[in-house]
Amino acid sequence: MDSKSESQRTLYPYVTGSSVVAIKFKDGILMAADMGGSYGSTLRYKSVERLKPIGKHSLLGASGEISDFQEIMRYLDELILNDNMWDDGNSLGPKEVHNYLTRVMYNRRNKFNPLWNSLVLGGIKKGQKYLGTVNMIGINYEDNHVATGLGNHLARPILRDEWNENLSFEEGVRLLEKCMRVLLYRDRSAVNKIQVNFAGCSAFAGWCYGSVAFSVWHFGSAFCVRIAYFHLPALPFVSAALQLRCCGSELVLQALFCKLPFALVCITHVAD
């Protein structure tokens, strides 16, 4: 085998991400993952984003090899670009993107050159929520809540007990935070820096996508908030306040949304 062929194959995962957990809630999809990247068993990277928006309607989360996830993102960028070039007023929804990913993963498996990832794809289009998963050999299904990695064994039992279809945004975030806390305690590859993404329809802003990253426990008295941004395409002026309960403290997110592809979010730590 020549060096060029070897450089294009992932023979074994080196830098990996751990579990992704996702649920449907009343107004859309919530997805959570930690931001750690492990080099073997060493927690080498602490700010790896493994949850990404795909097109106008979908979110993607990935466990496994980070470089293979980057390759999948290149495939999806090309797919979305080609779809946009048609300019026909239609866009790929989460079900179409999930079907595409199942074909990609199964095709690479048949070539004995798999992409070493387990993927979660969720989103909402025309009011219809969709959530599915696919692993590195193409096995796929859709459900009301899904998880990858150790989350299949540790988070899914919690979700089976506590999930219901009428969960509010705040209740959904608290449920995901509980799952991620259990994974932090039980999974050696997990870190305490969490990214939570959502996609859905809400009372305050039509379809939207947002991402918040935070620590699920205290270092001394510091409550760690890393990232907070919302992607809100072509929406009127509207304000909202959301409360996320994390480790006995609350974050109050006050946002002023305007007709821009983003919104500035003011984050305040409310003491116990």
Q: Known catalytic residues?
A: 10
- Calculate the alpha carbon distances from 149 to 19, 23, 57, 250 in Å: 5, 16, 25, 29
For residue 245, list its beta bridge partners: 250
Q: Which residue has the tokens 């070897």?
A: 6
- Calculate the alpha carbon distances from 187 to 134, 149, 151, 266 in Å: 21, 10, 9, 32
| Angle formed at CA 81 by CA 79 and CA 87, multiple of 5 degrees | 115
Distance of alpha carbon 237 from alpha carbon 257, whole angstroms:
5
* Beta sheet of 28-34, edge-to-edge order: 145-147, 20-25, 28-34, 193-202, 206-215, 225-231
Q: Which residue has the tokens 């899914």?
A: 156
